[in-house]
Homo-oligomer: A and B are copies of this chain.
Amino acid sequence: MTITSFQIAELCGLSRGTVDRALNNRPGISPKTREKILKAAEELGYRPHFLAQSLVKGRTKTLGLVMFDVQNRIFAQLFHSFEAEARKQGFFVYLALSNKDPDLEIEYINNLLDRKVDGIALHSVNKGKEFEAYLHKARVPIVSFGNQISKQFPLVWINDKVAIKEAVSLIQAKGYQHILYVSPPLRYKGKSNIFGPEQRHKGFLEAVKEQAELSYTVITEKDFLAVIGHYLYLPHKKTAILCTSDMYALDVLKFLSSKKILVPEQVGVMGFDNIDTLNYVNPALTTIDYSVDDIGTTLVESLIRKQEGQKIPNLTTISHRIIVRDSI
């Protein structure tokens, strides 16, 4: 069913060579003939053999973006900025969702490589020597975000450790005595790549160590609300709940509201990411903000520069800042 230059030649009563000349924008035919051919091609719905051309040129002008999902608004926003920058640079984006499944992540990377993408931005759930060796074989630029794969693969992200340390300082300055630290991904330690959550956890442990008057509980359970509920009914100190994602913080706010516990009067809550959903939430959530647009743009730039053979930094740190609102 595909229209070939042969059929266009038949329709126009011209040789295939002439038609190919017009279609591939080569010289040697009159403007009038060229126009006739291009018009016939358009009418027939002719599409040049892009796949075949890609095989020859070795470039497809496409980038792959592999991430967990777009349930968390921060990643939907990241996809938007990545796509906008790629489009500006003339690249098409394939978005693939691993759903945090290591096998699926590899299946999707294989799929992108099969389609000869020019580079892959990866929020990796896999890690380890075997995975690194696999990625090295891919022979296309790979840049990571969220979770570092290893020092051999460039990372574009914020400084998670410093960000959490600043959050703890703020909580301490506001007079809180106990922190419930909510980070469910930590339960995957040793099983999948949780570099980002681990950096935040390290920063948290360093910060509470420096502030001896602060006690804390680290909550890694999937059903973190049940654990929080348990703690809040024990006799306790002035408590803040520090969530490593606004998504958790939104669930915490909802849970506390359902229990008629006032924020910040009875318990403080703090998030991480400053997702746009926060615009609609009461009380306004104190959180950590960073430019996810910068991350998307930098990922695209890094992939393109690396593909062109330029050196790119091993680590690009995007700046962050605490947004103080009403919840703490």
Q: Which residues 215-253 in A have Cβ within 8 Å of B in the complex?
A: 250, 253
Interface positions, chain A 30-85, Cβ under 8 Å from B, are: 44-45, 47-52, 54-55, 58, 69-71, 73, 76, 79-80, 83-84
Copy count, this protein chain:
2
Question: Which segment of A111-119, A188-196, A293-301 sits at the interface?
Answer: A111-119
Q: Which of B44, B48, B76, B134 contacts A76 (CB 8 A)?
A: B76
Q: Is A150 an interface residue (CB 8 A)?
A: no
Tell yes or no: A97 within 8 A of B by CB: yes
Question: A65 CB to closest chain B CB, in angstroms?
Answer: 9
In the complex, what's the smallest C-beta–C-beta distance from A72 to chain B, in angstroms? 10
Within 8 Å by CB of A280, from B1, B2, B70, B281, lies B281
* Residues of chain B contacted by A257 (CB below 8 angstroms): 282
Q: Cβ of A113 and Cβ of B51 under 8 Å apart?
A: no
Q: How far is the CB of A257 from chain B (nearest CB, A)?
A: 7
- Give the nearest-CB partner of A275 in chain B: B277
Most buried by B among A2, A58, A76: A76
Q: Are A49 and B45 in contact (CB under 8 A)?
A: no
Question: How far is B93's CA from A108's CA once the two chains are assembled, in angstroms?
Answer: 10
Interface positions of A from 88 to 141, Cβ below 8 Å from B: 92-97, 99, 104, 108, 110-111, 113-116, 134, 136-139
List B contacts of A305 (CB < 8 A).
Answer: none
Is residue A254 within 8 Å, beta carbon to beta carbon, of the partner chain? yes
Residue of B nearest to A42 (CB): B137
Contact B94 A94 (CB under 8 A): yes
Residue of B nearest to A97 (CB): B83
Of B47, B95, B97, the contact of A114 (CB 8 Å cutoff): B47
Quick check: is A310 within 8 A (CB to CB) of the other chain? no
Q: A250 to chain B: which residues have CB within 8 Å?
A: 279-280
A interface residue count range (under 10 / 10 to 19 / 20 to 34 / 35 or more): 35 or more
In whole angstroms, how far apart are the Cα atoms of A94 and B254 in the complex?
A: 35
Q: What's the Cα separation between A279 and B111 when bound, in Å?
A: 36
Q: Which of B58, B79, B104, B116 contacts A70 (CB 8 A)?
A: B79
Output the nearest chain B residue to A116 by Cβ-Cβ distance: B51
| Residues B76 and A80 in contact, CB atoms below 8 Å apart | no
Are B97 and A80 in contact, with the CB atoms below 8 A?
yes
Q: Bound state CA distance, A277 and B275, in angstroms?
A: 12
A55–B49 CB distance below 8 A: yes
Cα distance A115–B51 when bound, in Å? 6
Q: Are A115 and B115 in contact (CB under 8 A)?
A: yes
Known: A51-B55, A51-B114, A281-B281; 10 extra A-B contacts, CB below 8 A, are: A2-B139, A45-B138, A51-B54, A71-B80, A87-B104, A92-B96, A92-B108, A95-B95, A277-B277, A277-B280
16 contacts between A and B (CB under 8 A): A45-B134, A47-B110, A50-B116, A51-B54, A51-B115, A70-B70, A70-B76, A71-B80, A73-B73, A83-B97, A84-B99, A92-B111, A93-B95, A250-B279, A250-B280, A254-B280
- By Cβ-Cβ distance, the 5 closest A-B pairs, closest first, are A45-B137, A50-B114, A95-B95, A250-B280, A70-B76
